[in-house]
Amino acid sequence: MPNGNVEYIIVINGKPEGPYLLEELKTKYIHPETFVRKPGMDDYKEAHELPELRELFGFGKQITAPQYFASFDQRLLAWVIDYFFLTLVFVVLVLLSFVFVREKEQRIMLIFSAMPLIVVAKFIYGSIAEAGEKQGTIGKRLLKIKVTDMEGQRLSMEKSFARNAAKVISIIPLFTGYLASFLNKKQQCLHDLIANTLVIKERLI
């Protein structure tokens, strides 16, 4: 759909107004921090974040430090969802392997010897997904949270792998590294503090 036919909702003095077509926005007082929403967006964004509005009003894209951070329970639920799907895939693969492995003892050995692969898969998948376009795994995307650097920008692949590797430090002392999220305003776990990363959530109006 061409931008000229897209309808925008804008927030003026704390109240949503519109919808307006792109051309109609020219008559409105829009500044870079004005909250704007259009079809297909899950939440409002600031006007400077939309390329067509930057072009229309001559805004420069600003880098705004994140202000909304994912809580411990959101992150935990995302973790559970991720492991549920990975375990489901593991079970399917094991059942398929039973076509070739007939002995009961061998099947049991196969299950237990292959279980650590779930953790390895989580590490690889999590690192790639969190450095990807969506900046999160399936669990994080369902909870509408994502991983960023300290400025709210997408992680490089190297930084994402480093962050996930640092989770070992959070886990070793009986998972106490995760409790660090209760001790700082940005709700960073120990591995986030080490990697200088954040887990942020959608802005609410």
Q: Is the domain of 52 the same as that of 77?
A: no
Q: Is the domain of 18 the same as that of 41?
A: yes
Q: Is residue 111 part of a domain?
A: yes
Q: Is residue 67 part of a domain?
A: no
What Rg do the C-alpha atoms of the chain give, in angstroms?
22
pLDDT at 159: 96
Is the predicted pLDDT of residue 204 greater than 60, yes or no? Answer: no
pLDDT at 4: 61
Q: Is residue 65 part of a domain?
A: no
Q: Is residue 2 part of a domain?
A: no
pLDDT at 152: 87
pLDDT in tens, 84-110: 999 999 999 999 998 888 898 998 998
Q: Is residue 157 part of a domain?
A: yes
What is the domain range of residue 181?
72-201
Confidence of residue 68 (pLDDT cuts 50, 70, 90): confident
pLDDT in tens, 1-50: 446 688 999 998 889 999 999 889 988 888 888 999 999 888 888 888 88
Overall domain count for the chain: 2
pLDDT in tens, 135-190: 999 999 999 999 999 988 899 999 999 999 999 999 998 889 999 999 999 999 99
Q: Is residue 64 part of a domain?
A: no
Q: Is the domain of 110 the same as that of 21?
A: no
